[in-house]
Structure 1
Amino acid sequence: MRSSTIFSLVIAFVLAGAAVFGMREYLADQQARLLAMGRTKTQEKTLVVAAKPMRFGDRVRPENLKAIPWPSNETPAGSFSSIDVVVGNDAQPRYAMEAIDPGEPVLSSKITGAGERATLSAALDHGMKAVSIRVNDVLGVAGFVRPSDRVDVLLTRLVRDPAGNDQTLVDVLLQGVKVLAVDQTADERKDEPSVVKTVTFEVTTDEAQRLTLGATIGTLSLTLRNIASSSVEETRQITVADLGGGPTATELGQDLAKTPEREKQVEIVESKVEPALPIEPKWATVGVWNTTKREEHRVGLIQ
């Protein structure tokens, strides 16, 4: 056998061995990747979300929930990974404390504890109180105040100054107060305006005292704040003297202060014309005939 042929066979065996070794390493690497992907999929977490809309007071039932894959290791605070943990048992049911829309994660802050009732007291933050005031269609911003809105509370009252004169004042009593409920409705997702009679706020003890006292001595009215507004504004007391409207209002006030002069009134009297009566004569005429002519003589009448 020629040396060139032997050399070619040796080269062929070496290349074949290298190809087999390379393919074996490639397959082993692919297998390792598949195993790693399988382990990742096995470790994938689930997150419980709402399958149907739930509102305040609704019982949390299994048909209203669903578990979805959650690839991240970071989950929302207070979330659940199992529907059974959320639902609990029939003896200790859970209820929705606020509106939960489909696809929204079910959090512990949005539902009651096991066996707890869905009451307004359970929705209060620690140390806060719920207090209600009476409103009407004007004082309640025409019914556009809804649960979870923020409002400012104004107090209109009548005070007596040192001179003994009554004066009307308006003060900003509270700012940025959270609305818990309107009438008996605590559903924040209900956005249709409706005229209500009472509004319930979440306030501190001091704020509750101020609201109660203000409702006793004056009239409370609400002003709706922007949903993104959280700052406390600098306010001042408004009096009747602050209702000026510029030069026009000043001139008008001066005109009103002047004592108007009384206009001269002319009365037109129609003259009455009495009919003329015939004048009775105070004498009589006597005619006397002479031979040629007739003469007349006046003779006075006896009165």
Structure 2
Amino acid sequence: MRLVFGLVLIVGVALAGFAAYMAKNRFDQYKKKVADQEHQLKSNVPLEAVFIVKRQMAYGEVLTKDDVQVVAWPNNAIPEGAFKNNPVVEGEEPEGPLLFPTTGELRTVLRVMEKDEAVLLAKVTSPGEDAGVSSRLEKGMRAFALRVDVSSGVSGFLRPGDHVDVYWTGNSQGREVTKLIDTKLKLLAVDQIADGDRSAPTIARTVTVAASPSEVGALAQAQSSGRLSLSLVGAGDDAEVAAVEIDQNQLLGIQDKAVVAKEVEKVCTIKTRKGAEVVEIPIPCTN
């Protein structure tokens, strides 16, 4: 009887220990899962509703509501100029620009957008505008056309959106000079092409640049009085360019020899006689 009681006691203690072990293991797993969920919640980034395109959109296409959809986007990685799907509250100013204003006017695509790409302000026109050159002009700027050929137009490798330096070659004060007259002018169009996504070289006859009214005046005067050449500025190049003016002598390394005429100093004298001797005495000149 004592032996049976002892066996029952041992088995009971063993079962109790096993149950305690299993309970502790389950509790530890639960604590770990709760800690993981808390960590995940802390690392989660708030999301915002952003418009993206559902298909590839080409230059000149009109953007409609059927071409876009709304997705959740991490608010710390939203591209600058992206259109958010903010609710319009009557009597309040909308937060940010509206992709589809209440007036019903649609925007036009200015640059190619790939499928699932966010719609950006820089890639579409203002509501109701087409994709012409005027839609790309910033406030206070004007469009001006420059005549070019295969040599002055960088062999046809210019594209809308590029930036160029403009050099003038002509006669100045009796000598042939080449001078930098403007820097980093933005190209709006090459011939009649304003699509900056075209990569094939085009031998253009004209390029259209964006310039201020004073720059337009300088370019017009330069174009009528000499020859213009364009120099392509590298992408992302923000270096300041110093004034450039080169003539033929500088190009060939010839230095002008200045003839310095030495003025003969004028001396004024008076003559006096001392006995039989005549003496000249210097005096200050009156004229």
TM-score of the alignment, normalized to the shorter chain, above 0.5? yes
Give 1:19's match in structure 2, choosing from 19, 22, 28: 22
1:210 corresponding residue in structure 2: 218
SS of the aligned residue for 2:26 comes to helix
Which secondary structure state, in structure 1, belongs to the residue aligned with residue 29 of structure 2?
A: helix
Bigger radius of gyration among the two: 1
Shift in CA distance, 4/113, structure 1 to aligned 2, threshold 3 Å: farther
Aligned match of 2:279: none
Question: What amino acid maps onto 1:188 in structure 2?
Answer: G
Structure 2 residue corresponding to 1:75, chosen from 78, 91, 107? 78
Q: Is the contact between residue 53 and residue 101 of structure 1 (CA under 8 Å) also seen in structure 2?
A: yes
What are the superposed Cα offsets for residues 263-293 of structure 1, whole Å, 9 maximum, x if unpaired?
xxxxxxxxxxxxxxxxxxxxxxxxxxxxxxx
Please, which of 220, 224, 228 is the counterpart of residue 220 of structure 1? 228
Q: CA deviation at 1:44?
A: 5.1
Aligned pairs, number: 241
CA deviation after TM superposition for structure 1 residue 73, in Å: 4.0
Identify the range of structure 1 (32-41 vs 167-176) with the bigger mean alpha-carbon deviation: 32-41
Given that residues 188 and 194 in structure 2 are in contact (C-alpha distance below 8 angstroms), is that contact kept between their aligned partners in structure 1?
Answer: yes
Tell me the equivalent position of 1:200.
Answer: 208
* Structure 2 unmatched runs, 5+: 88-97, 255-287
Counterparts of 1:86 and 1:224, CA distance in 2: 34
Q: Does the CA-based 8 Å contact 2:45-2:76 persist in structure 1?
A: no
Structure 2 counterpart of 1:52, which letter?
Answer: R
User: Any conservation in 1 of the 2:132–2:194 contact (CA below 8 Å)?
Assistant: no
Partner of 1:100: 113
Q: Does the CA contact (< 8 Å) of 2:51 and 2:118 recur in 1?
A: yes
Structure 2 letter corresponding to 1:94: R
**Identity rate of aligned residues, in percent?**
26
Contact 1:60 1:87 in 2 (8 A): no
Query: Is 2:182 the partner of 1:169?
Result: no
User: How has the CA–CA distance of structure 1 residues 116 and 51 changed in structure 2, closer, same or farther, with 3 Å as cutoff?
Assistant: same
One-letter amino acid matched to 2:16: F
2:241 aligns with one of 198, 216, 233 = 233
Q: How much has 1:127 moved relative to structure 2?
A: 3.4
Aligned Cα RMSD in Å? 3.8
Deviations 1:50-78 (A, max 9, x none): 44333433211345445556456431122
> Do 2:101 and 2:127's aligned partners in 1 also have CA atoms closer than 8 Å?
yes
Identify unmatched segments of 5+ residues in structure 1. 247-303
Mapped partners of 1:186, 1:125: distance in 2? 15
SS of the aligned residue for 1:222 comes to strand
TM-score (norm 1): 0.64
SS, match of residue 238 in structure 1: strand
Secondary structure (helix, strand or coil) at the match of 1:57 reads coil
Question: Which residue of the partner structure matches residue 57 of structure 1?
Answer: 60
TM-score (structure 2 length as normaliser): 0.67
Q: Distance in 1 between matches of 2:205 and 2:247?
A: 28
Counterpart in 2 of 1:288? none
